[in-house]
Amino acid sequence: MRAARVGERAIPFLKSYTLFNVAQIEGLPDRVQTPAAPPPNLFERIGHAETFFTAWGSAIRHGGNQAYYSGASDHVQMPPFEAFRDAESYYATLAHEHIHWTKHADRLDRDFGRKRFSDECYAREELVAELGSAFLYADLNLTPEPREDHASYIASWLKVLKNDSRFIINAAAHAQKAADFLHRLQPDAASPEADGTSLAA
């Protein structure tokens, strides 16, 4: 809507325009005709991550709206792939739950005591899983966005660290050990300790 002024009086009037799709017009310069790049497919599986996570032979079940590791049945439960914000968020969550998977007695036998939700022992294991998953997806060159549950974990992590300021070092050591363990399960991967390198570096 434009206004033409007559003296001090504004008179509004409407003006219409005819629009055409750029694909319907011939003879335009190349810079106008070049189509925009298609948006990335957020739900396309990432080949190297898929290979990495399936090499372990762990039991992964899909369904529901929660991700967790069940020690009783020794399986990782995941929501459907399409339920995640993007592919990287799916693999980040899968990494987190597989760090938990390493705590099984037949693997690294990691036990901080009682595991009631929100208690200090639970918070310790969650901190290890979060650090370990960060190590893994850094190794895989993934960059997921922070998860919604991170904020709820922070308070419990701070409580643990307030009571034991050195636990962050202990948690990082457990996380690195778990990440190294998962790397060693890759069929063609050398042990991280073999060449003296750290996967978290």
pLDDT of residue 116 exceeding 70: no
The answer to whether position 42 is within a domain reads no
Q: To the nearest 10°, report the CA torsion of 96, 98, 100, 104.
A: -170
* pLDDT on residue 99: 97
The answer to whether position 25 is within a domain reads no
User: How high is the mean pLDDT of the chain?
Assistant: 80
What is the Cα–Cα distance from 69 to 66, expressed in whole angstroms?
10
How do residues 118-152 score in pLDDT, each as one tens digit?
A: 578 888 898 999 999 999 989 999 887 666 665 56
The answer to whether position 180 is within a domain reads yes
Q: Which domain holds residue 72?
A: 47-195
What is the Cα–Cα distance from 29 to 47, expressed in whole angstroms?
38
Higher per-residue confidence, 115 vs 85: 85
Q: Do 171 and 124 form a contact (C-beta atoms < 8 A)?
A: yes
* pLDDT grade for 201, boundaries at 50, 70 and 90: very low
Q: CB neighbours (10 Å) of residue 193?
A: 11
pLDDT of residue 191 exceeding 50: no
**DSSP secondary structure string, 88-106?**
HHHHHHHHHHHHHHTTSTT
pLDDT of residue 161 exceeding 80: no
* pLDDT grade for 13, boundaries at 50, 70 and 90: low
The answer to whether position 170 is within a domain reads yes
The answer to whether position 26 is within a domain reads no
pLDDT of residue 200 exceeding 50: no
* pLDDT grade for 115, boundaries at 50, 70 and 90: low
The answer to whether position 17 is within a domain reads no
Please give the average per-residue pLDDT across 34-52, as a whole number: 73
The pTM (predicted TM-score) of the whole model is 0.69
Q: How many domains does the chain have?
A: 1
* pLDDT on residue 80: 94
How do residues 50-107 score in pLDDT, each as one tens digit?
A: 999 999 889 999 999 999 999 999 999 999 999 998 899 899 999 999 999 999 999 9
The answer to whether position 89 is within a domain reads yes
Tell me the percentage of the chain whose pLDDT exceeds 70. 72
Q: How far apart are the first and last CA of the chain?
A: 60
- DSSP letter for 65, please: S
* pLDDT grade for 109, boundaries at 50, 70 and 90: very high
The answer to whether position 159 is within a domain reads yes
